Amino acid sequence: MRRLLSVLIPILSLIIALIMFKCIFIIGFVPSESMEPTLEKGSMILGNRLYGELNTGDIIIFRHDNKLLVKRIAAVPNEHIQIDGVEYIVPHGCYFVLGDNRDNSYDSRYWDNPYVRKDNIVAILFYCLQKR
């Protein structure tokens, strides 16, 4: 019995960890300076796939052009935002996102479709382990 437990406990722990990272959490890597100083290039991030209402200021992980990106929500559905003299009205079910490092961020300001659809959002930022 003791030997069986010594095998089952690590296997069950691994299965639980795999399920948690498939269904609840996502681990990522910050490849650029676009979110500095909040998220330094090279930092590891942990996102929570189970999130409620998203608000202006939340940092999200989402899919854009077959890549995962991390940016801050600058405007939520039905909000108006004006950037560099251009006014954007965020459609229902979408978000307008910006990098914190505005001079070095490829974000909503530069995309053909400047909005992130809710179904493209993978997670909300939960934790960041800054590169030292």
* Rounded-to-integer distance, Cα 78 and Cα 5, Å: 55
Q: What average pLDDT score do residues 19-33 get?
A: 92
pLDDT in tens, 3-19: 877 888 889 999 999 99
Tell me if 61 sits within 8 A of 70, measured CB to CB.
yes
Whether the model pTM is above 0.85? yes
pLDDT in tens, 93-103: 999 999 999 99
pLDDT in tens, 38-66: 999 999 999 999 999 999 999 999 999 99
